């Protein structure tokens, strides 16, 4: 059954909330193939003590395993926050077709914020990109997370 | 003991040759901390069927494990070929101090080829970058690999 972009993003938001439960920056991701979610991931950077464990990379690893291929042809990726350089690098090299994100990331977002992805030269694939899907909810999740962090720090002083 | 950049790159080349043995694109990497090699890696993309298994990512994973931290402060990374977007993303987010590479990659190199890394805005860290270390040897390894691939393909026709 074909679902809306908002539906898939709402599942990515559910993933982001799993990150929140373990005190990770709440970012979530799903990968869709033939209208089916084939992989989900959430940010695990601090838990795994590894810079690469972003939600997108977690999902890409799972999708590759599922399809038994590093080429993720005809797959769409939904992520709550604009992907960073590392994740966009993994996304275009996986041949992911469409990337949908929720809120922009002004410090590091590699679609339109820190860099305009389509202006990078000589790549072998440029996914279609689109932002602003359930933007407010995706953005609030992150903002509230950092607000709580700051408040807790103040309380400790 | 303090070694030269060429010494560390020669070890990265040894790693690249390990990739060659299993028919992977020959790219190798080492990470140095306090003048000691703390991690090595070579390209395993096809063997692991995962787009993220570049030499640099392999080495970053091992270095993070060794230092028990995703922050690789005061670490230098040596890689035979100019890192791609994904690897430069992982490198700057790990706070790696210096990046030394051998040969440029015109289709995807994210230091000066496909993009000028220092022109990306609002990142939290910009490593010092320097290319051309044992350039000819690093470049020949790759060129010979693809030349052999083409010749073998012709033979099969």
Per-residue pLDDT tens digits for A65-96: 999 999 999 999 999 999 999 999 999 999 99
Interface test with A, best of B64, B85, B113, B114 (most A CBs within 10 A): B85
Name the burial class of residue B112, with classes exposed (0-12), middle (13-18) and buried (19+) by CB atoms within 10 angstroms of its CB: middle
The secondary structure of residue B33, as a DSSP letter, is E
| pLDDT per residue as tens digits for the range B19-77 | 999 999 999 999 999 999 999 999 999 999 999 999 999 999 999 999 999 999 999 99
What is the average per-residue pLDDT within A42-69? 95
Closest-CA distance of chain A to residue B46, Å: 8
Angle in degrees, CA A81, A83, A84, rounded to 5: 125
d(CA B105, CA A24): 35
Sort strands B36-42 and B28-33 into parallel, antiparallel or unpaired: antiparallel
Q: Which of B116, B22, B67 is nearest to A115 (CA)?
A: B116
What token pair was written down for B121?
A: 């805005």
Q: What ipTM was reported for this prediction?
A: 0.95
Sort strands B98-103 and B128-130 into parallel, antiparallel or unpaired: parallel
B70/A50 touch (CB, cutoff 8 Å), yes or no:
yes
Residues 81-120 on A with a CB inside 8 Å of B are 84-90, 92-94, 106-108, 110, 113-115, 120
Name the 3-class secondary structure at B69: coil
d(CA B91, CA B69): 14
d(CA B92, CA A84): 11
Band the pLDDT of A156: cuts 50, 70, 90: confident
Name the burial class of residue B139, with classes exposed (0-12), middle (13-18) and buried (19+) by CB atoms within 10 angstroms of its CB: middle
What is the average per-residue pLDDT within B5-27? 97
Sort strands A98-103 and A128-130 into parallel, antiparallel or unpaired: parallel
User: pTM, whole model, 2 decimals?
Assistant: 0.95
Check if A24 is active-site: no
């Amino acid at each position: 059954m074909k679902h809306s972009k908002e539906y898939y993003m709402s599942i990515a938001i559910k993933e982001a909330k799993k990150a929140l439960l373990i005190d990770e920056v709440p970012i979530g991701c799903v990968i869709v193939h033939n209208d089916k979610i084939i992989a989900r991931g959430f940010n695990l950077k601090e838990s795994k003590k590894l810079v690469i464990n972003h939600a997108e990379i977690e999902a890409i690893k799972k999708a590759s395993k599922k399809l038994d291929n590093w080429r993720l042809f005809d797959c769409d990726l939904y992520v709550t926050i604009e992907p960073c350089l590392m994740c966009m690098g993994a996304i275009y090299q996986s041949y992911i077709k469409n990337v949908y994100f929720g809120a922009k990331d002004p410090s590091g977002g590699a679609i339109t914020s820190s860099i305009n992805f389509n202006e990078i030269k000589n790549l072998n694939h440029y996914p279609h990109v689109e932002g602003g899907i359930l933007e407010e909810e995706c953005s609030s999740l992150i903002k509230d997370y950092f607000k709580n962090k700051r408040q807790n720090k103040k309380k400790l002083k």
